[in-house]
Structure 1
């Protein structure tokens, strides 16, 4: 078997290893989406994926070694052709090893500014094996044609204008965002495909029954009546105009900007549900006042129960019991900092004895962060205001999550990329938008704890 055949065989093996590795990665991602997955199952699949990674590395190293050997063989053949004595009879044509005229990997006549080289450097850093192959071939070509330059013992500082800087694109720091913890806890619905208003019928005058006064006398009758609850469909949108230079000559600029627009979209949606005038949760909730110059967690907790009592009293048989408490992260950590020697008189399911609730130690935006002493789940959301009331107060919201309705387009947010509007200035317009509607007022049930007892907390263990 010739060296060229060995190289072809090694390249095929390398490509097969890459395909196998991708299959293992896809299987791992599918497993992680399984709600019933176990830690052992994930660990086993990760080990299989890592083994496939190692096999790709091994196959790539073997291919690189064969290609380097081929380059060296071509060098030797070229040297032999130049050092044959003139008096020596020339061998037959098919007995001579010749250097072919294969084109260079990166050619100035085809890519004068070296853009392909720069893209391959960036792609190789992100794991593109084909880009790595092209760079390896380029290095070998340079060793053959310009060994004095490639092998010279000079550091990169001597070639500041020639060494491509390596920006750690995988470690870029996106702007932090509060995102949408409360919105993700609401009862979701698909937004109707047409119209800018969603109407809900509410029975505002109920029928009646009463004890019949005597036989053959009229029984109670009250005509049922309803009132429409109109809910406006709102548009959440943002835009950014990028120069073509930033997109075409930058590394990952467009995905980074798009990701940030999506983050702002989520934050605006969630903040609207909480804070919008008239319909936001803070404006439809009935206040449970907590006024205290020296607030403590022990004093705050009864207010939570008062609020939950009001939620159930408002909903009666429509209460689902799926209650949640929504609070700012500073309030959740303040409640955790409290120490005490008293506990609720009535035990609660899922609560360890002699503790005031449970912290699940999950990350921000990951759903339920813990439960209060009576088992009510806590949602932490930093879109809640911290300059309310006296100026440094936040609020705690208590709701039945099944009565917090959110309609969204299944495809939202949507993305428009338009080049024509800013064509004359070489700009590309990026727009992110979506439609949504919401209500917390199908039943007037929501409660909020507010007052001077919720001023900016101090962490003193009480």
Structure 2
């Protein structure tokens, strides 16, 4: 990772820390206006505010250190350019095979949207040797930095199985389309190196313990038994044929095509995790009915608590407590539009008692959007169907233990690109994006979903 990328990350972390500190300060001001405020409550909130303030200071110093390091590197580069004799200067950047800490062949500061990479992929199949050389350098750099992760990648002799530069997959993830908010929030694993199935052993009959009836009598015994949970490895893929004319005479055509394929890959994967027949979250979750011709956010909230209680009752001592509420954006904004004069009788850490949870004001697909009154984080995902029910106008709210929603993805990419000149007779070039994944929400049958006429298309009336 370059210094520029580290600086960008540090700036994002600082912005996040500042936002968190402001939220703690707002919470403190709200508490101070509460006539029932105790000294202990005030002191606890001040401590949280001060901790957030210290985090801002730490992030600020980290950013300053990185910027100072970058300034020094720039200064040394300029000095070297002035002092190195012209006859002994290093070869041009594109004449050197660079790996490790050297600058990458494809970099976000020079090729932000990946147009150069995409153009090279397509051009390599048309006999462009310079494009082939750049792609070969890129693959060597990937092996140097990610080592064992690329052991299964196809060789570059025919350039079938090129690894997409990591910054491109990172960049494309948050763009338009429903994308993959839920997939990014759940528990991730590396997909096994071989096989088209993931197997998990589940204990279905446990041992037994009871009181001994009397001395020297047999103690209770129950033979344990397990059942194998088989999870299929699936392939998500998309393709697009583009003309040779668009490659050679067009401007940015490849970038548009690949951007769309990347985003649709992410959206398709997330959609399957939520909606796939038999195994998608909507089909394995136990329903909590909310039937109401005039629904309100205040009436919906107890259903959320009922669902979370069901999650914990199913998990018992295996419950992590790391729960999620997953809902459509229209439902999240409807809950925010509600006004009321009542609030929960039991307060929660870090939540102002007089409000129905908190909105973190993060943008779509950037993680947790806010929290409910009991502290449950909210993930907003528009892959949730909004055409359910008899009136085809209902959505659903899912309540899960985050640690028991599992997603396996191939660690090589997670996405790959292949380009093959399979339609030479029509001057066409084929671009393909694909990836392998497996998922399950059923290691423990715990998920709940709120469904019914109470979740019809919302009316934003303040209730």
Return the alpha-carbon distance in structure 1 between the equivalents of residues 266 and 3 of structure 2: 32
The alpha carbon displacement at 1:404 in A equals 0.1
The alpha carbon displacement at 1:25 in A equals 3.5
1:256 counterpart SS class: helix
1:321 counterpart SS class: coil
Alpha carbons 1:393, 1:454 under 8 Å: kept: yes
Residue of 6, 10, 35 corresponding to 1:31:
10
The alpha carbon displacement at 1:427 in A equals 1.1
Identify which range, 396-405 or 175-184, moves more after superposition: 175-184
Alignment partner of 1:426 is 2:423: no
1:253-332 matches, within 5 Å, as 253-332=253-332
How many equivalent pairs are there? Answer: 330
Return the alpha-carbon distance in structure 2 between the equivalents of residues 414 and 355 of structure 1: 42
Question: What's the counterpart of residue 403 of structure 1?
Answer: 404
Question: What's the counterpart of residue 339 of structure 1?
Answer: 339
Question: What's the counterpart of residue 202 of structure 1?
Answer: 202
Return the alpha-carbon distance in structure 1 between the equivalents of residues 62 and 427 of structure 2: 47
Provide, for residues 20-57 of structure 1, a one-character-per-residue CA deviation record: whole Å limited to 9, x for no partner.
xxx874552363476877674588589889999x99xx
Question: What's the counterpart of residue 240 of structure 1?
Answer: 240
The alpha carbon displacement at 1:348 in A equals 0.4
The alpha carbon displacement at 1:175 in A equals 8.4
Alpha carbons 1:32, 1:42 under 8 Å: kept: no
1:38-187 matches, within 5 Å, as 40=60, 176-187=176-187
Assess, with a 3 A threshold, how the Cα gap between structure 1 residues 227 and 365 changes in structure 2: closer, same or farther: same
The alpha carbon displacement at 1:311 in A equals 0.3
Alpha carbons 1:405, 1:438 under 8 Å: kept: yes
Provide, for residues 350-371 of structure 1, a one-character-per-residue CA deviation record: whole Å limited to 9, x for no partner.
2112111000000000000000
The alpha carbon displacement at 1:215 in A equals 1.1
Return the alpha-carbon distance in structure 2 between the equivalents of residues 218 and 323 of structure 1: 42
Alpha carbons 1:25, 1:49 under 8 Å: kept: no
The alpha carbon displacement at 1:251 in A equals 1.9
Question: What's the counterpart of residue 415 of structure 1?
Answer: 416
Provide, for residues 98-123 of structure 1, a one-character-per-residue CA deviation record: whole Å limited to 9, x for no partner.
xxxxxxxxxxxxxxxxxxxxxxxxx9
Return the alpha-carbon distance in structure 1 between the equivalents of residues 213 and 63 of structure 2: 74
Provide, for residues 55-111 of structure 1, a one-character-per-residue CA deviation record: whole Å limited to 9, x for no partner.
9xxxxxxxxxxxxxxxxxxxxxxxxxxxxxxxxxxxxxxxxxxxxxxxxxxxxxxxx
1:241 counterpart SS class: strand
The alpha carbon displacement at 1:188 in A equals 0.2
1:368 counterpart SS class: coil
Return the alpha-carbon distance in structure 1 between the equivalents of residues 278 and 432 of structure 2: 28
1:237 counterpart SS class: strand
Assess, with a 3 A threshold, how the Cα gap between structure 1 residues 255 and 456 changes in structure 2: closer, same or farther: same
Assess, with a 3 A threshold, how the Cα gap between structure 1 residues 42 and 456 changes in structure 2: closer, same or farther: farther
Give the RMSD, CA atoms, in angstroms.
Answer: 3.2
Identify which range, 448-457 or 213-222, moves more after superposition: 213-222
Alpha carbons 1:400, 1:446 under 8 Å: kept: yes
Alpha carbons 1:326, 1:396 under 8 Å: kept: yes
1:436-451 matches, within 5 Å, as 436-451=437-452
Assess, with a 3 A threshold, how the Cα gap between structure 1 residues 213 and 43 changes in structure 2: closer, same or farther: closer
Question: What's the counterpart of residue 378 of structure 2?
Answer: 378
Provide, for residues 290-318 of structure 1, a one-character-per-residue CA deviation record: whole Å limited to 9, x for no partner.
00000001000000000000000000000
Assess, with a 3 A threshold, how the Cα gap between structure 1 residues 331 and 204 changes in structure 2: closer, same or farther: same
Q: Flag structure 1 segments of 5+ consecutive residues without an equivalent.
A: 1-22, 56-122, 127-173
Assess, with a 3 A threshold, how the Cα gap between structure 1 residues 356 and 189 changes in structure 2: closer, same or farther: same
1:345 counterpart SS class: coil
Return the alpha-carbon distance in structure 1 between the equivalents of residues 438 and 311 of structure 2: 23
Alpha carbons 1:393, 1:455 under 8 Å: kept: yes
The alpha carbon displacement at 1:216 in A equals 1.3
| Larger-Rg structure | 1
Q: Flag structure 2 segments of 5+ consecutive residues without an equivalent.
A: 15-54, 76-109, 114-173
If the length of structure 1 is used for normalisation, what is the TM-score?
A: 0.66
Assess, with a 3 A threshold, how the Cα gap between structure 1 residues 45 and 177 changes in structure 2: closer, same or farther: farther
Return the alpha-carbon distance in structure 2 between the equivalents of residues 341 and 392 of structure 1: 29
Assess, with a 3 A threshold, how the Cα gap between structure 1 residues 47 and 199 changes in structure 2: closer, same or farther: closer
If the length of structure 2 is used for normalisation, what is the TM-score?
A: 0.66
Identify which range, 229-238 or 209-218, moves more after superposition: 209-218
